[in-house]
Chains A and B, each alone.
Chain A
Amino acid sequence: DTGVSQDPRHKITKRGQNVTFRCDPISEHNRLYWYRQTLGQGPEFLTYFQNEAQLEKSRLLSDRFSAERPKGSFSTLEIQRTEQGDSAMYLCASSLRTGEAFFGPGTRLTVL
């Protein structure tokens, strides 16, 4: 247990539905990251927050994806109008310093 928690751990949804994932970082960590990982591939960066400010967004983050970190604490990642290609493991990580990130267990999304 790294201290980063994610909820839910598994989500099955039908194509076209909206889903929201939550990440609770280590409490003193001001940096929070979202990654996506598909089978057999390494994680891919999606977005980065420093406190409540979203400072970086990957080109992978289409208009259907939105992330928030109100008050610089927990974060949510919402996917609207899910597609089968969104099926993946969604990983959250937090850190105090550049590079040394602590990852949560991930939320596995299956879109039917």
Chain B
Amino acid sequence: DAKTTQPNSMESNEEEPVHLPCNHSTISGTDYIHWYRQLPSQGPEYVIHGLTSNVNNRMASLAIAEDRKSSTLILHRATLRDAAVYYCILLLSGAGSYQLTFGKGTKLSVIP
């Protein structure tokens, strides 16, 4: 299975942009890149996903490198509510595995 590598922790000031990196050098052509986050004492929450092109939604943006070996989750203006563990996950498209393989993620702290 293709694996992802994320920093253990990151800090950001409130109202500043945050760039959360993820390396996935062994990604295959059919792997989608998903991001989830988990706030304290809650279940994980879907953030965004993409395959090749950059993606935007109301929560965040996902920038995918041209070779797809890395990606970056961008929170445009961090708020205290964004303090969470962020997981970068590869998911094979098509028949077969529907399971999300979570690593340890990046713990984001937001400083007021």
A: residues with CB less than 8 A from B are 2, 4, 31, 33, 35, 40-45, 48, 55-56, 58, 91, 93, 98-106
Contacts and interface: CB of A to CB of B under 8 A. Distances in A.
Contacts, number: 57
Interface string B42-60: 1111100100000000000
Contacts of A58: 99
A41 B104 contact: yes
A101 to B, nearest CB: 6
Q: How many B residues touch the partner, as a band?
A: 20 to 34
Contacts of A91: 43-44
Interface of B: 32, 34, 42-46, 49, 85, 87, 91, 93, 97-105
A33 B104 CA distance: 19
A103 B32 contact: no
A45 B98 CA distance: 10
A40 B105 CA distance: 10
Given A33-B99, A45-B100, A98-B98, A103 B91 contact: no
